[in-house]
Chain A
């Protein structure tokens, strides 16, 4: 459903994401795309890589447009066509966050897929709020005073789930079976659904396009990206790497982390471990609700 000839970089992770998403969801969908790499590379006027109905409006309003499309389908009595909103991390985490929150709150029947490459690749590698701690971008460069981004990334899946939506999940492009399982699950549901797919950017992160999947896999194996789903308020971790790989193995492949000192890598490891422990606690609390209920 996503034709070749698009102008994505050789080894582009997000392009693979879109191929997988559109192939799995089939012909009976309407795609609403936010501005970003995938909009630019797939729709060089007068050509288009999309073989499904497609609309692009602005950076900030893909969820709002998707809400409108869903409302129009409902008014027509169409209950089979699925509305799929697609945005990068820039439009999802930052610029379109308000309209995304609105869409999730209103309960519109839209499946939102975020391809998360952790930066604004299209405009020249600026920092987004998905950029991890320590990463150098053009707006968080590494120099004598500052060493890359100084804040943590936002946990967008948990934020989406906090709206009380039926399904929110994180997936990775290197774990295709897991991604397909989550897409299948979400496709069968109604109401707002949210899936964030980690899809590394070879250009922005600074590695050879051929190892995109290796980088994505190491990101999950080192627990810097976690595969989990939140269904009806219950969190379930889908993949627990045992033993986990050290974060250094993931960081050392990428130019954006080249400036990090040993202490900073240890700090990233500490934050990663702490975040993982937090998720494990959440999973445990929700899996065994009785055990956590205080006794009267």
Chain B
């Protein structure tokens, strides 16, 4: 009998970073580690709250939500070049 099951967390094999047109760049010294971008990120790939965001570019779709929500505006969106 074949049961159509998906294994947990296997979506990581889909590298959604290929969708990205704009790339977030973090200006480290300005970051106040507030965790807002990490909480809001729809991919959940900005690292742990309390640290400078560590973006996983394999999955970042470049929605620019982090850059818009950042209270100190330390994230810039630049054109992605591959």
Contact = CB atoms under 8 A, between A and B. Distances in A.
Interface of A: 2-13, 15-16, 19-20, 23, 42-52, 54, 176, 208-214
Contacts of A12: 42
Among A2, A15, A48, A52, max chain B CB count under 10 A is at A48
A254 to B, nearest CB: 16
A8 B44 CA distance: 12
A10 B10 contact: no
Contacts of A5: 11-16, 59
A235 B49 CA distance: 32
B64 A210 contact: yes
A48 B6 contact: yes
Contact of B10 (A23, A47, A208, A209): A47
A45 B3 CA distance: 12
Contacts of B65: 11, 209-213
Given A2-B44, A3-B11, A19-B44, A211 B68 contact: yes
Contact of B14 (A7, A13, A176): A7
Contacts of B67: 210
Contacts of B14: 5-7, 44, 47
B42 A8 contact: yes
A42 B10 CA distance: 10
A46 B59 contact: no
A19 B40 CA distance: 9
A133 B46 CA distance: 36
Contacts of A50: 8-9
Nearest to A43: B6
A47 B13 contact: yes
A209 B7 CA distance: 29
Contacts of A210: 63-65, 67-68
Given A49-B11, A51-B9, A4 B43 contact: yes
A47 B8 contact: no
20 contacts: A3-B10, A3-B11, A4-B16, A4-B56, A5-B59, A10-B63, A11-B65, A16-B39, A16-B41, A16-B42, A16-B44, A45-B4, A49-B9, A50-B8, A50-B9, A54-B8, A209-B65, A211-B65, A212-B63, A213-B65
